[in-house]
Amino acid sequence: MHSCAIFFARVLLAPNRSLLSSAMQALKQTLLTATCAFAGLVSTPALASGDPTATSSVTVVVSALASTSSVVKLYFYNVREKFLTHGGYAFMRAVKPGGQTQISLPVELPNGEWAVAITQDTNNNDKLDKNFMGIPTEPFAFSNNVRPRLAPPDFNDCKFMVSGTGKVVTIALTK
């Protein structure tokens, strides 16, 4: 900043009008070059890795619903470390089956790795009921139809890749 002020002081105090004109031209050229270089640095990573804001259409189909009237909640995760942690999901959708034993939910997801955890609140108390060992007593499911035995599944087991349109993820609810 200090050198910039000295440069402007010299230019403004310059007695020769042509010197002022050539100094201003040099300054304009320098600013233009710096701006272009900065723009190139900023945009290069986005171009190299594809558009980080690109999204794709995905349809999640949930079958074998335990109830045709109880709410089905779909929790979408895209960060491995936050998978199945309280509030760690990217977003949640609640769907009423409307008398059907299967639901289809179209969503727009940013491209990348995703996993879905699903619950059906059959007693409508707005929580997933569990037994004394912590095992859910209400229907649940995970993407890739992962069926955990003694521990919750890992993100890597449940993940699917989103890139391009038309992806359908089919999940059967466990009763």
Per-residue pLDDT tens over the stretch 22-75: 545 554 554 444 444 444 433 333 333 456 689 999 999 999 999 999 999 999
- The correct answer on CATH 1.10.10 for the domain covering 55-172 is no
Question: Edge-to-edge strand order for the sheet containing 167-172?
Answer: 103-110, 55-63, 167-172
- Tokens 């139809």 label which residue? 145
Domain boundaries, the chain: 2-49, 55-172
Region 140-146 average pLDDT? 97
| Lowest mean pLDDT, pick from 47-56, 78-87, 155-164 | 47-56
How is residue 98 written in tokens? 């409307």
Please list, residue by residue across 137-149, b when 16 or more beta carbons sit within 10 angstroms of its beta carbon and e when fewer do.
ebbbbbbbebeee
Q: 83, 155 in Cβ contact below 8 A?
A: yes
Question: Is the distance from CB of 171 to CB of 147 less than 8 angstroms?
Answer: no
